[in-house]
Amino acid sequence: MKLPDKMKKLAWLGVPAVLLCSLSVPGWALIEATDAERETIVEMIDQLEERHYAKHRYDDGMSSAHLDSYIESLDRGKMFFTAADVAEFEKYRTVMDDQLHEGDLEAGFVIFNRFQERLESRMENVVATLPQQVETMDFSVDESYPLDIDEWAWAKNPAELDDRWRKRLKNEVLSLRLAKKPQEEIAPTLVKRYESQLKRVRQYNSQDVFQIFANSLTEMYDPHTNYLSPRRSENFNINMSLSLEGIGAVLQQEDEYTKVARLVAKGPADKQGELQPSDRIVGVGQGESGPMEDVIGWRLDEVVELIRGPKDSTVRLEVIPAKSKAADEHKIVTIVRNKVKLEEQSAQKKILEIPEGDRVIKVGVIDIPAFYIDFDAMRRGDDDYKSTTRDVRLLLEELQNEGVEGIVVDLRNNGGGSLQEANELTGLFIEYGPTVQIRHSSRRVWRDGKRLKTTYYDGPLVVLINRLSASASEIFAGAIQDYQRGLIVGDRSFGKGTVQTLVPLTEGQLKITESKFYRISGDSTQHRGVVPDVEFPSIYDAEEIGESSLDHALNWDQINPVRHHRYNDLSTVVPRVTAQYVERSAGNPDFVYLEDQVEMAREANEITELPLNEAARIALRESQEQKALLIENKRRKAKGEEPLASLEDDEDADAEDPELAAVEEEEDEAGDEPDVLLTEAGNVLVDVLLLKDRAYAVHTPPEEPQK
């Protein structure tokens, strides 16, 4: 069975794409490698050794790491293999490099066949005994379920594995109880879940096995280097117009869950507003009232198939919010499917009116959701083809004509796009000069940027970024920072600073990291991202989102800088502006509320185990809810509003007054809700304007670069 094209979404994130899914045929026949797969592995290793940026040789050390990576990709939770199984696999630790160079795939298929045997046996046992287990579970016993599975050792014997499964199932049952699942539906729900997994267990073929084995090697080089099976290669395509039909979300597999990696800017999910990165999807329902299909343990492509659908149809997602440590808290997100169109991703403008003494300062905002360009129209020679730079140039002119005294460029959640547009956009804010350096695995360096001196916007500039600002966004923000053309504010960016190339193989393709982005300062954007001059609190968990959260991500490093002009000396400006920001945000109820939420999320992430005692579990959940209520009421009190008795009060009020709820929804869609981070970015720009020395606000013509 070949993998559907939806798997391509995962490939760009470098995440293993197959979980407990699709194994052999009924009766458990051994799976063997094909001749084409033997040829493919030899070609793949040659390409990795010769073309990958890291220049790693597949030697004994890499063979050892590959073995660990492969076993983990099969049984990350240590729920199937025993210590004896793993000890038996030790014979392959330093020989796989010799075997694979010769096209010998014995290790990968022997280990997988053992895994298949253990998995199928376990699923059959769970399905057969689960109803009885549910009936006899005692939730008054004081025991817990550990969350940090990375710290687990391999089970010494089958009895220890049995106990792990007992606790796992007990945790799942308790989560369903607390999610208000009727008791009589809990056992059938779990039986159906594991029957579904067992069905997938019996569908694996050699191509599935080869893909897991190959990707457990490629991910040792970096998370964006992936083997694409023939089916995935056939459908692999990057569509710059982002005309996707569905909900506009990039998904990835994490253990047995389908997790939201990111939302496509201006897509249906992004505009609906409830689905968030790192949310885990556990159920999918069709229409307003169709049955909710439990998708825990499903293949990623199968979940995507359920979620995607025709324009204007409705899909309901049952999700565990990212902030929830346990699986007890569920919510339903209803999204109307649509296409993500280029025009919806266009840059937009607005004006912030910042009060300052007895006057109001107008600050222009340009929101750029993506770095887009209509390549087809450009190639046809259309004079009015759409692109980020063309749109922003017009918006800049309009805002200046409207009397703004500075510009905020909002790049939050901008995952990148066209490198050409990142360079062209930078050219709107500098007279000329390099924008980015690209270093190939051959160690040759290319430089790109603005080659001709032309007019540019030379007024005060602030660039607002967050953890989801990636790739082209980081190139633009990094260049503005290196030229000291403006201040960067917000959260540290994603840190995606690598470039991938597709290489054809005998069977499938290899997406390989062949180059790396560097700023003109010589600093890489990889891993570290762009560090803001003024850092706002992050609403995203850096351990869950960003390049640094991915296993085997390439390190940050430096190459030689490019000599370039600095338009301002911001070294004295940043400390003063930062001090004013800290003082102002300390008295801003919305900002304090945001910081309190971040701190509460940090505390939740420190939870290492969940009580399996129902009373203790309820107490833990109520404690979290009480903290959230205290934070909300602290904000309301500071703003002179009535406190809430519970977090449901607002929802209840909306339910009682549908007209009020509708008005609030319209205001949200119109962007009338206060955006505390954007407002603070505007305040920072005003601080710069009002500095007595005006060192930043006064433009001095750029000097000729030294040669």
**Could you tell me the sign of the dihedral formed by the alpha carbons of 376, 378, 382, 388, in that order?**
positive
Average model confidence (pLDDT) for the chain? Answer: 86
The per-residue pLDDT for range 672-689, each reduced to its tens digit, is 457 999 999 999 999 999
The residue length of the chain stands at: 707
Is 278 one of the annotated active-site residues of the chain? no
Pairwise CA distance, residues 469 & 416, whole Å: 7
- Tokens for 497? 């600073």
Bigger pLDDT: 218 or 309?
Answer: 218
pLDDT at 61: 96
For the segment 428-438, the average pLDDT, to the nearest whole number, is 96
Q: What is the pLDDT of residues 657-673, one digit of tens each?
A: 444 444 444 444 444 45
- Phi/psi of residue 359, each to 5°? -135, 170
339: tokens are 């296409």
Long-range contact pairs involving 676-680 (C-beta distance under 8 Å, separation at least 24): 676/588, 676/590, 676/591, 676/594, 677/412, 677/464, 677/466, 677/490, 677/536, 677/594, 678/352, 678/365, 678/408, 678/410, 678/464, 679/352, 679/354, 680/489, 680/536, 680/581, 680/584, 680/585, 680/588, 680/591
* pLDDT surpasses 90 at 646: no
Contact assessment for residue 204 and residue 23, using Cβ atoms and an 8 Å cutoff:
yes
- Give the pLDDT band of residue 548 (cuts 50, 70, 90): very high
Per the listing, tokens 């010494």 go with: 156
For residue 699, pLDDT beyond 60:
no
Q: Degrees (nearest 5) of the Cα angle 330, 333, 339?
A: 150
pLDDT of residue 674: 72
d(CA 493, CA 524): 12
Whole-structure pTM over 0.85, yes or no?
no
Residue 530 has pLDDT above 70, yes or no: yes
pLDDT at 302: 82
**Distance in angstroms (rounded) separating the CA atoms of residues 187 and 184:** 7
Residue 241 has pLDDT above 50, yes or no: no
The region of weakest confidence among 151-155, 470-474, 698-702 is 698-702
Q: What is the pLDDT of residue 516?
A: 96
Closest CA to 428 of 446, 454, 404, 406: 454
Catalytic residue chosen out of the listed positions 69, 216, 469, 471: 471
* E strands, 505-614, in order: 509-518, 534-535, 609-611
CA distance 276 to 263: 8
Distance CA 506, CA 486 (A): 49
Stretch 147-155: mean pLDDT:
87
Q: Is 149 helix (H, G, I), strand (E, B) or coil?
A: helix
Instruction: Provide the pLDDT for residue 335.
Output: 93
The pLDDT assigned to 668 comes to 46
What percentage of the chain reaches a pLDDT higher than 90? 63
Q: Is the pLDDT of residue 219 over 90?
A: yes
Q: Which of 85, 97, 328, 482 is catalytic?
A: 482
pLDDT bracket for residue 705 (50, 70, 90) = very low
Cβ atoms < 10 Å from Cβ of 641: 12
pLDDT above 80 for 607 = yes
- Element counts in the chain: helices (H) and strands (E): 22, 21
- Would you state the structure tokens that stand for residue 91, as one six-digit string? 């014979």
Q: Which amino acid is at 355?
A: P
What is the pLDDT at residue 651?
52
pLDDT at residue 476 greater than cutoff 50? yes
At 98-130, the pLDDT tens digits run: 999 999 999 999 999 999 999 999 999 999 999
- Residue 471 appears among annotated catalytic residues: yes
* Rounded mean pLDDT, 434-450: 95
pLDDT tier at 650 (50, 70, 90 boundaries)? low
What are 230-240's pLDDT values in tens digits? 865 544 433 33
How many Å apart are CA 214 and CA 217, to the nearest integer?
Answer: 5
- Reported as a pLDDT band with limits 50, 70 and 90, residue 655 is very low
Instruction: Please determine, for residue 297, whether its predicted confidence score (pLDDT) is greater than 60.
Output: yes
pLDDT in tens, 393-423: 999 999 999 999 999 999 999 988 889 999 9
Judged against a pLDDT cut of 90, whether residue 382 lies above it is answered with no
Looking at residue 694, its pLDDT comes to 53
Q: Quick one: pLDDT band at residue 4, thresholds 50, 70, 90?
A: very low
Is residue 220 a contact partner of residue 5, using CB atoms and an 8 Å limit?
Answer: no
Backbone angles phi, psi at 284, to 5 degrees: -135, 130
User: Would you say 493 and 507 are in contact if contact means Cβ atoms under 8 Å apart?
Assistant: no
**482 catalytically annotated:** yes
Instruction: Mark residue 604 as left, alpha or beta (left: phi above 0; alpha: psi -120 to 50; beta: remaining).
Output: alpha
Q: Are 25 and 303 in contact (CB under 8 A)?
A: no
Looking at residue 325, its pLDDT comes to 62
The residue-averaged pLDDT of 700-707 equals: 46
Domains of the chain, by residue range, sit at 5-230, 245-339, 386-499+527-707
DSSP H helices, 32-147, are 35-51, 60-74, 83-89, 96-101, 106-136
- The hierarchical CATH code for the domain 245-339 is 2.30.42.10
Which residue of the set 496, 516, 596, 687 is catalytic? 496
The percent of residues in the chain predicted with pLDDT above 70, rounded, is: 87
- The residue ranking higher by pLDDT, 257 or 54, is 54
Band (pLDDT 50/70/90 cuts) for residue 201 is: confident
Which of 216-220, 271-275, 670-674, 685-689 bottoms out in mean pLDDT, i.e. has the lowest?
670-674
Would you place residue 339 in the very low, low, confident or very high pLDDT band (cuts 50, 70, 90)?
confident
Residue 232 confidence (pLDDT): 59
Higher pLDDT: 691 or 538? It is: 538
Would the pLDDT of 495 be above 70?
A: yes
End-to-end CA distance of the chain: 59
